[in-house]
Structure 1
């Protein structure tokens, strides 16, 4: 136990930052374990939050325990038992929880075939599929899973989904209520239900990875722990659905992008953009894994799936020894196919960047200007950022500086906003 008999305000601040970090790391496993106990994801999150508040109270005065995750789990478990006793739940379930120190599901009386069909014994993945249940709208599934699985704030989810924060808050509240009222079981779906629910799960996992790869808010540009969690879930999904090409495509995309994480930030934490990165710092093991996963997707006739297409784009970067060697013509062609398959303003913005690199900044600017009024991009800081870069390359410096300043004002990540302000100041 890390303790201090007379904790200063600085010490208390350090403990609070530690508690926040522990919550980011442990909350998913905590909520998933509690959901297995109480069979209600809303109640599970509430109990986890109670444990977090208890940690704030006890750790600020008594110090952070040696095993903070275990402390949170034990505290939450006691509160769950107390809550269940208060509500006089079924005696058999109470007995199961009181004596189940390993938190394993009670299998007595279970249908052996149904148990065999439960092909993944992973609480976190059960939590994902529960939150992605068809009783919820897709928007609600995404918002709830990001909240429960990634421990993201409503603000972070709103930024990730490009919708207002109050909308996300309402989705989460309604989603938890709907799951509770529908008594949705906390389980991995059987094989017959799997395909229809897999697409949403893949989307959620990738959103979590993206939040780790480029954090929407906070003091750090990357959150590697979220990338690690998304990669772990991606590998589990490959084991669950080895014949689904898009599962391999998603894993390939995440592995190839994760290969750049070490090179994305300077020693002081400042962002380093793709074309300026030291490619010697890219993780070549991740690149090899990503290329192998991409080959698996292609072998399963999934080369034109949305994730496989994005992985193929990432592979073009991974295969280029230097930024100058990048095959931008190939990337632009891949974005053409991707836009036809799943057109969106964000895809079009990325496509514009590819065309700017392949055919010159004016070609890219023409494509950007075609989507500049898109409703989904009104608060999206990367739109003015990209536009500013293209205007700068065209020598339109006053316009470029204004775009960089607007992008900095829209960016919620402190590191990214600083970078954009620096780019504005450097544009003469």
Structure 2
């Protein structure tokens, strides 16, 4: 476990102003993958993005003291739970940010509720966080498996790519992604011809790809992420699946994955994202600020989510005048409209679901790309109300 600390305080504006702000110290803990398969798409980038939000907030609210700590959950639920308990019980952490890895997120979810803290879930994908596992202390910000399936699964099936085979990561995210996408495919008239499940950090996908190849499917649904997804795409290309006419559909793909693969290997891959650095002037400005701190790397949607969720949380704490009652802070977040450079304007529903548009992209051919991060061409915009699960369909007790 690695822990880093950033302490930010505004300039002295007079005893009264500083004393009032000092009465509301805030501590954010970025719980993420700093060393494993999801480190590029979350990891240190989520810490950078959270610090950016803190600095922006403190600049607008002089006198507030906000601290950021970080830890590596190593993609293990027991480590994540142990870190969270220590942060909450001994270190005074008020809100947990990121939580990339759905199994980790579900493990800390109950601890968040018990300690009455806040979970700014910018990293995990499982839609259960706003469904059967919802609680009043969680905001699920960036994306979820239901929304991703509505984009990639529905779009391809309607285009005639209607025979699917799933290569699924064998843990909470993969199971949820397969479940949600299968339902969308079948509702659109498609069929699921088979599925295989592979452990996290699988190096050799050959046996799984041979099963997909033999199934007669026209789409290989990749219900995995990070290094697993990258390795699966590379090996699918080596096995000639795409040359034989099979379409690769990523259920959870990040720009860092595509950058790692290169457009030669990834061209034509269909993905759904909640954020892309080159969408508009505001996203480009945010990405430029991030890249200056991240060695030229563009932010992923998880990084954008960590920034935006942290900024809105801090604004809500300022409006509330307190940070120690987590449920009250989340209630204020739901009450206030959201607005930030990464996602624009939006809102947070009763079940904790942050509402914003999603985007369907196709990876460019090498001849179409004009730069190392010019990787996507936009196929469609998916309005928030269509992308995310209807409020009354998730089984969240907060809604009932």
Q: Give the structure-2-normalised TM-score.
A: 0.25
Larger Rg: 1
Give the structure with the larger strand fraction.
2
Q: Give the structure-1-normalised TM-score.
A: 0.23
The answer to which structure, 1 or 2, has the higher relative contact order (CA under 8 A, 6+ apart) is 2
Give the structure with the larger helix fraction.
1
